[in-house]
Structure 1
Amino acid sequence: MKPGIHSNPTPFEVKRKERYVPVIAKFWFSHLFALLWLCFSFYLSLPWLHQLAEIVSLPLAILIIGGISYLPGYMNAFLLLSLILDKQPAFKNEFPTEQVTVLIAAYNEEEQIFETLSYLDKQDYQGKMQAIVINNGSKDRTVAEVERAMKELSFPIELMHEDKQGKFHALNLGLQAVKTPYVITLDADTLLHPSSIRYLVARMKSSPEEVAAVAGSVLVKNSRENLWTKLQEWDYFLGIASIKRLQGLYQGTLVAQGAYSLYKTDCLKEVGGWPDAIGEDIVLTWRLLQKNWKVYFEPLAVSFTEVPSTLKHFIRQRARWARGMIEGLNEVKPWKQPQLYVKYLTGVNLAMPYLDFTYTFFWIPGLILAFFGYFWIVGPMTLFVLPLTILSYSILFFYQRKYVFNPLNLRIRKNKFGLLFYILGYQMIMSPISVYGYVQETFRFKRKWK
């Protein structure tokens, strides 16, 4: 995906009058569809289940097939219908003017920080905007680049220093200096579309009073670098975006990611700011949700971030995400969330270790066995999950192109090989890495943010 800086976005709204379907009806109807799909899948899989039970016992056969077929199929069916039913409400005002502060925690970001601030300077936001850059003990020329931006750019930039290592330390120091009603967090290597902040604030201003945060849309800016970045381009564009849309529909986006999100300043301060956690944005979001506040997602508030270009850094990042999810579950139990939708959405995360474990230790070995003609675990029945996956990704692809990229004058880069590899092989990489992250958190391995 390619960021454009000279676009003239059109309003994101549906002119024709449509019949309103309550969110609760969408929720239960999608579950009904998923349940019917599960029953259909179970019926068709009976021969496979009996065959595998003769080899490993019936309870273990149910456990294996449940993790690689039944539960993923149910979740994909729920996701699919939810995406079909989702209708993003129109903005009440596309040109808000509320004052906003942007917090940027920076550690050794000399190559990116000036460009990030330059893109902030090009925003078409009509309200007063300022940035606070918190230098978190950088040992390069980060401070010099920020000082250059303070002289050359047209909007106010303040530089602060936090010597205690940790992004949460830096953000909490910056939060103390925030005087505006809204605060945005932005990674030092993340570039914003010119209308991004305007749409992000517009979504907040168009939302109910109990909405405490709005997550922006994060896409990949270095997708042409190599295979790893090509894969991640589709993960951000399809996988992560589909989950964000699903969670946003049910008013409980589970991660207002630190890379680019908007918060109400008072809400942030009430929960104590960012916690001491490797997944500080996950735990923070769940604390907001526990207060009976809501977290939305705005697909038009587009940003472009630098993703890991080596396998080593990719593993480190995704293992960190897996650890962050476990931290969130330990911090705020799903059954303690006050909202029905959030109970369900966070509850799904309880099943993720099980799914990743069965995929890693049963599906991948089963795939190897299938190449030698042994279809005990992986066979024709496992392909039933694939059509739903492809259909849900197709729906999201056309949604992204029609309602996000076209209005913003962006174009989707041609990356067919990356898409094919993403659909067929990405999970074989992700599940073992996630399991590694769960092990790290279980045994309290040393934290590594980068």
Structure 2
Amino acid sequence: MKSSNFNPIRIMQSKFYISVSVKFWISHILALFWMLFSIYLSVPWIKDLGNLISIPAAIVVISGISYIPGYMNAFLVVSLLFDKQPPFKKEYPDIPVTIIIAAYNEENGIYNTLKYVKNQDYEGEIYVIVVNNASEDQTATEVLKAKDELQLNLLLLNEEKPGKFHALNKGLKYVETENVITLDADTIIHKSAVRYLMARMISSPIDVVAVAGSVLVRNSRQNIWTRIQEWDYFLGIASIKRLQGLYQGTLVAQGAFSLYKTKYIKEVGGWPDAIGEDIVLTWRLLEGKNKVFFEPLAVAFTDAPTSILHFVRQRSRWARGMIEGLREIKPWQQPQIYTKYLTGINFIMPFLDISYTLFWIPGLVLAFFGHFWIVGPMTFFVLPLTLISFGILYLYQKRFVFRPLNLRIRKNFIGFILFILAYQMIMSPVSTYGYIQEFFQLKRKWE
């Protein structure tokens, strides 16, 4: 299928080369115009809210719930329109690669994970290292069973120190290949996932040292909560990774499924002692004047949290991991302007999440009672951009990811509606909770 049927900007790109730098600044300029237009229309809103809390305070509140989110969404929309994944130089690589799997109490799923590794259509040798991280069940037995029955080139190691970073670093010591993949023990991969990760790596410039895979939800039919999260992975997280990949600075080569050049991980000291070990590792790689790409065709499926409590623990960890990364590696220390900007955005994320939690949600409640002091028609200027960006990504995922991989998008309309209307009302308070945990240095919980 010709891409011109989907993205009109690609017609222009096929005739004229548009550099990443030009795309970056055009996206910013158009986003700025959108924000200025929003400010112009919102002057009455500022005055009305200012009469209650003062004009400066009104500007701060409206910036947190409307201006800045609108700017960021506009930047995302334009960038997605510009995005065009470079073709592979070699779609069927045969370079040996190692997969490290850190496993803690994974007896129920590790065999299945290894079966999907065995069924890869990759033409090179795949070495597997499973690190049994202080498991208290029959994980090791299941791994040895899979090694024997599936005829895997597999090495089983034991690491008694709890913590995923301990397990990954133990496995790293035994990696002899130039490239290494990390895979979560509860994650299964599409039969072409390893091939596409490796194809993207060898097709990329020499300074690309990691490629993040695309992680989607496997258990979306389990309950309404997993149905909502399916859209977050499919649209929200994927759109952010495409944006970051376009600007050569994917901020998280997630441990669930990503590819790295082995020597560069060793040069930065391996995975750090952090609750967001993959975030800090990725930022250290970027700090060394390296680039990190994203490959949407390298698809893995993971189980999303099935309960609110599990979700809160997971996403608060992610929020804490972001703060850990900012504490260790400041955006201005990044050598490239794109990664300065992309990591710099994380500085304002706490402000946006706190604003949403403390102002937008109470303002929505007030609006139901006819008081439009905080939430009014202007706040919904962000919604059209959100729908446009998700619409663009939906078509992209359907035509250029799912169709080539012979996958089908599940019908999940109710989950989509709830994702659009209610998901952020849960996400922002959960992220705020994570920021508070990190501020007070509360005890880390990996599970």
Q: Secondary structure at the match of 1:343?
A: helix
Paired residue type of 2:232:
D
- Equivalent position of 1:179 in the other structure: 176
Give, in whole Å, the separation in 1 of the partners of 2:123 and 2:442: 46
Q: Secondary structure at the match of 2:320?
A: helix
Structure 2, unaligned runs of 5 or more: 1-9
- Equivalent position of 1:96 in the other structure: 93
Indicate yes or no: 2:82 matched with 1:85. yes
- Equivalent position of 1:120 in the other structure: 117
Q: Secondary structure at the match of 1:272?
A: coil
Give, in whole Å, the separation in 1 of the partners of 2:332 and 2:143: 44
- Equivalent position of 2:189 in the other structure: 192
Give, in whole Å, the separation in 1 of the partners of 2:136 and 2:197: 33
Give, in whole Å, the separation in 1 of the partners of 2:174 and 2:127: 12
Give, in whole Å, the separation in 2 of the partners of 1:134 and 1:177: 11
CA drift of 1:154 comes to 2.6
Structure 1, unaligned runs of 5 or more: 1-13
- Equivalent position of 1:142 in the other structure: 139
Give, in whole Å, the separation in 2 of the partners of 1:44 and 1:304: 43
Indicate yes or no: 2:237 matched with 1:237. no
- Equivalent position of 2:445 in the other structure: 448
Indicate yes or no: 2:337 matched with 1:330. no
- Equivalent position of 1:420 in the other structure: 417
- Equivalent position of 1:225 in the other structure: 222
Q: Equivalences for 1:394-413 in 2 at 5 Å?
A: 394-413=391-410
Give, in whole Å, the separation in 2 of the partners of 1:219 and 1:19: 34
Q: Equivalences for 1:51-450 in 2 at 5 Å?
A: 51-450=48-447
- Equivalent position of 2:44 in the other structure: 47
**TM-score, structure 2 normalization:** 0.97
1:90-110 deviations in Å (ceiling 9; x for gaps):
000001111100000000001
- Equivalent position of 1:4 in the other structure: none
- Equivalent position of 2:23 in the other structure: 26
Paired residue type of 1:251:
Q
Paired residue type of 2:380:
L
Q: Secondary structure at the match of 1:55?
A: helix
CA drift of 1:227 comes to 1.4
Give, in whole Å, the separation in 1 of the partners of 2:123 and 2:177: 15
Paired residue type of 1:153:
L
CA drift of 1:228 comes to 1.4
CA drift of 1:371 comes to 0.5
CA drift of 1:59 comes to 1.0
CA drift of 1:175 comes to 0.1
**TM-score, structure 1 normalization:** 0.96
Give, in whole Å, the separation in 1 of the partners of 2:441 and 2:222: 33
Give, in whole Å, the separation in 2 of the partners of 1:99 and 1:434: 39
Q: Secondary structure at the match of 2:215?
A: strand
CA drift of 1:18 comes to 4.5
Give, in whole Å, the separation in 2 of the partners of 1:165 and 1:138: 9
Give, in whole Å, the separation in 1 of the partners of 2:366 and 2:265: 51
Give, in whole Å, the separation in 2 of the partners of 1:171 and 1:326: 22
Give, in whole Å, the separation in 2 of the partners of 1:228 and 1:267: 38
Q: How many residues align?
A: 437
Q: Secondary structure at the match of 1:225?
A: coil
1:35-80 deviations in Å (ceiling 9; x for gaps):
0001100000000010000000011100100000000000000000
Give, in whole Å, the separation in 1 of the partners of 2:422 and 2:171: 41
CA drift of 1:424 comes to 0.7
Give, in whole Å, the separation in 2 of the partners of 1:223 and 1:53: 44
CA drift of 1:155 comes to 2.5
Paired residue type of 1:418:
G
- Equivalent position of 2:5 in the other structure: none
- After superposition, the CA RMSD in angstroms is 1.0
Give, in whole Å, the separation in 2 of the partners of 1:154 and 1:299: 29
1:317-370 deviations in Å (ceiling 9; x for gaps):
000000000000001000110010000000000000000000000000000000
Paired residue type of 2:203:
S
CA drift of 1:19 comes to 2.9
CA contact (8 A) 2:189 2:301 kept: yes
CA contact (8 A) 2:159 2:166 kept: yes
